[in-house]
Structure 1
Amino acid sequence: MITLLSAPSNLGLRPPQRGSVPGTAKAPEALREAGLHTRFAERGAIDGGVVLSARYVDDDDTRAAGHVRNEAALVEHSRRLAARITDVLAAESAPLVIGGDCALLLGAGMASARRGRTGLVHVDGHTDFRHPGNSDESASVAGEALAAAIGYHWPAIADIDGLSPYFAAARTAHIGHRDDDEEQEEVRALLGLVTPAADVIRRGAAAVAADSAAAAGPDGYWLQVDVDVLDASVMPAVDSPDPGGLTAAQLTDLLRELAPRAIGASITVFDPDLDPDGRYARLLVDILDAGLRELGSGIRG
């Protein structure tokens, strides 16, 4: 069984313009309107409700050094999301978290750490590995979530409730960055497996998924999917669209292969403000419907 959890948070993103608010918090309802919940309900999924976050604040003028944007609100939301994911897992259902920005990986990571023996497959057009050790601009967890998830960030976000690392680096597989990603060499040195988008295109989704699942370990893994892994021509409704990404069919195939051994998944960074007629929401619903319908089926009796 799959349980859909809406997590309309934008706390980990920088504002699109000074004083403005990112649109990713609207994604769960935009995808609901495009038919996501109806499609999954037809196959027996249940609606697990909403985990609301506090109000987004552009705090650049007031935030002290050594802190990320919306830090207190982000930590509190991560705790509450982790608790909801934990309840879903305890009910022997697979949580499908619809975000929201990819700082949601903190809450998923906390729940996974409490469960134990859980790997991570991180599907993203960027490595999301900016952190205080390699950048003076660390502040937006949405671009730093993978670093925080394996313990490479300030303890306030990387060690919430003493759970660091949320995922072991050796059991983390990343898929989907572009060839010009600035942190890719550091990530290669740390993670169990790192596969650029170009290799998915060259080798095929099935081969990459099999290798990534093996690297994440035999006991299941959390599946984090940032939709900017898609090529910019396919999915421009994200904050950082880039060329060189996957087609809709390639991402669907990748998710179809990865979903059965995932204990749960999170879908992030779709921005309805950049999709005025809803065409990209409908495309994303098609991808998720076909790619994640067997979420968790390979690890539950």
Structure 2
Amino acid sequence: MITLLSAPSNLGLRPPERGSVPGAAKAPEALRDAGLFARFVERGASDSGVVLAGRYVDDDDTRPAGRVRNESAMIDHSQRLATRIGAAIDRGEAPLVIGGDCAILLGAGLATARRGGVGLVHIDGHTDFRHPGNSDECASVAGEALAAAVGAHWPSIADIDGLAPYFRSEHTAHIGHRADDEDQDEVRGILGSVAPAADVTSLGAARVGAESAAVAGPAYWLQLDVDVLDPTIMPAVDSPDAGGISAAELTALLRELAPRAIGASITVFDPDLDPDGRYARLLVEVLTAGLGELGTRVRRP
């Protein structure tokens, strides 16, 4: 059975303007208002409540070198989110975590690592592989979450509770980056499978999904950053880039991947960029159609 869990954190994002606060933390309630929770509950899902994050602070003027934005609050939220995700897994449920920014992947990684580990299928319009080894600008975990998840970041976020790597790189599949992603060559040399957005279109969503699932193994976490969609379809994200996939392609990809996923997380939708709610309603249609079979054929660790 699916259980929905809200994780309204924006701690891993850069501020859209100096001193301002990103809107991604509003996503769970915006999607609830658009009918997402009701649609899943009608199908038998439960609602496991919310894991609140600490206050977002634009700490660029005070943050010391070697730390990411809102680091202490992010670690605390990741640990508490991991406890709630883990409890759902232990009950035999498939947690569907509605974020929030991509840094909530840390909480999912902690939860699964505590239980022996699973694979990861990472769907994102970017590789999210900025890290201290390839950039002097590390600060926002939302653009660095995949690197942290496979242990390629500062230990403070990549080795919380001594559990690094949260996901083994050879059992991690990434899908959806654009052709000009600056870190794609590096991830191709590290991860088990890497498929750009163009592959989903040229090879078909079902094939890319099946090949990614084979790499991730018999149980995996499914992470979806909605900026994998083309910005003509989904502009309500912090980093919209041309060359993304269609809503139909994403739905087909999720249908292929969801049954063997032990849980899933949805991130980076920004309701501040969706004043009339049209993009929230689109996501409700994609997620309910694509994730309805979440966890139904997973081999639990």
Q: TM-score range by the shorter chain?
A: over 0.9
Q: Show the counterpart of 1:268.
A: 267
Alignment partner, residue 239 of structure 1: 238
Give 2:48's aligned amino acid: G
The Cα of 1:300 is off from its aligned counterpart by 6.4
Contact 1:170 1:192 in 2 (8 A): yes
Q: Which residue is equivalent to 1:112?
A: 112
Q: Distance in 2 between matches of 1:153 and 1:139?
A: 11
Write the distance in 1 (CA, Å) between the matches of 2:216 and 2:112: 13
1:217-260 deviations in Å (ceiling 9; x for gaps): 12x10000000000010000000011110100000000010000
- Does residue 89 of structure 2 align to residue 101 of structure 1? no
% identical aligned pairs? 76
How far apart, in 2, do the equivalents of 1:122 and 1:162 lie? 22
The residue number in structure 1 matching 2:227 is 228
- Give deviations 1:177-198, integer Å, cap 9, x for gaps: 0000000000000000000000
Query: Secondary structure, in 3 states, of the residue corresponding to 2:114?
Result: helix
**Could you state the TM-score of these two structures normalised by the residue count of structure 1?**
0.99
**1:152 equivalent in alignment to 2:152:** yes
Partner of 1:38: 38
Q: Which residue of 1 aligns with 2:79?
A: 79
Show CA shifts across 1:265-288 (max 9, x none).
Answer: 000000000000000000000000
The whole-number CA distance in structure 1 between the counterparts of 2:107 and 2:220 is 14
CA contact (8 A) 2:9 2:53 kept: yes
1:48 and 2:13 equivalent?
no
Q: Structure 2 unaligned runs (5+)? A: none
Q: Spell out the pairing of 1:272-287 with structure 2 (5 A cutoff).
A: 272-287=271-286
Q: After the TM superposition, which residues 1-301 of structure 1 pair with which residues of structure 2 at under 5 Å, given as runs?
A: 1-218=1-218, 220-299=219-298
Q: CA deviation at 1:115?
A: 1.6
2: CA distance between counterparts of 1:171 and 1:215?
5
Q: Distance in 2 between matches of 1:152 and 1:104?
A: 17
TM-score, normalised by the number of residues in structure 2: 0.99
Question: For 1:146, what is the secondary structure of its paired residue?
Answer: helix
After TM superposition, give the deviation of residue 117 of structure 1 in Å.
3.9
Residues 23-61 of structure 1: CA distance to partner in whole angstroms, max 9, x if unpaired?
000000000000001100011000000000000000000
Root-mean-square deviation (CA, aligned residues, Å) is 0.8
Asked if 1 retains the 8 angstrom alpha-carbon contact of 2:260 and 2:299, the reply is no
Checking the alignment, whether the CA contact within 8 Å between 1:92 and 1:300 is kept in structure 2 is: no
Q: Deviations over 1:147-168 (max 9, x none)?
A: 0000000000000000000000
**Structure 1: runs of 5+ lacking an equivalent:** none
Q: 1:297, 1:55 → 2: CA distance?
A: 36
Q: Any conservation in 1 of the 2:23–2:272 contact (CA below 8 Å)?
A: yes
**What letter corresponds to residue 289 of structure 1 in structure 2?**
T
**Shift in Å, 1:70:** 0.1
CA contact (8 A) 2:117 2:166 kept: no
Q: Deviation per CA, 1:83-111: give whole Å up to 9, x if none.
A: 00000000000000000000000000001
2: CA distance, partners of 1:297 / 1:117: 19
Matching residue's letter, 2:150:
I
Code of the residue aligned with 1:4 in structure 2: it is L
